[in-house]
Amino acid sequence: MTRRLLLVVACALVDADNRILIAQRPEGKALAGLWEFPGGKVDAGETPEDALIRELREELGVETKTACLAPLTFASHTYDDFHLLMPLYVCRRWTGFPRSLEGQAIKWVRAKQLRDYPMPPADEPLIAPLIELL
């Protein structure tokens, strides 16, 4: 079977206290109820950084820039109908107070607490590198 490759970007927003923001996927979306690193699909014509800056603005109302996005690792996960490739960036500098703009719950958690939140299978392997970093 041929699967489409889907490019998605995700971000660990890390605050001054080394806590990470996670968001709960809202009802009606794929994987509803699971906690994820915020982000979304890279649209045609966008760089991954452009897409992440846009998604952070749309979902959380924060503004950041490419120079503030450091790639850490990436997820590679096969779903039934597509293969997801998802770089994870770490961002420690932004402006605006992160708030829920799309009905998602949000939470600041320590890296070691991430395992207490059920995540999509693509996100789970991203936890260990974050624990190591933070």
- Chain centroid to Cα 21, Å, comes to 9
Q: How far is the CB of 134 from Mg ion (least distance, A)?
A: 23
User: Do residues 130 and 72 make contact, with C-beta atoms less than 8 angstroms apart?
Assistant: yes
The Cα 102–Cα 32 span in angstroms is 13
Binders of ligand 9L3 among 7-46, rule CB under 6 A? 8, 10, 29-31, 36-37, 39-41
The Cα 30–Cα 53 span in angstroms is 22
Stretch 75-114: interaction string toward Mg ion, x if CB under 5 A: ----------------------------------------
| Residues at the interface with ligand 9L3 (CB under 6 A) | 8, 10, 29-31, 36-37, 39-41, 84, 120, 122-123
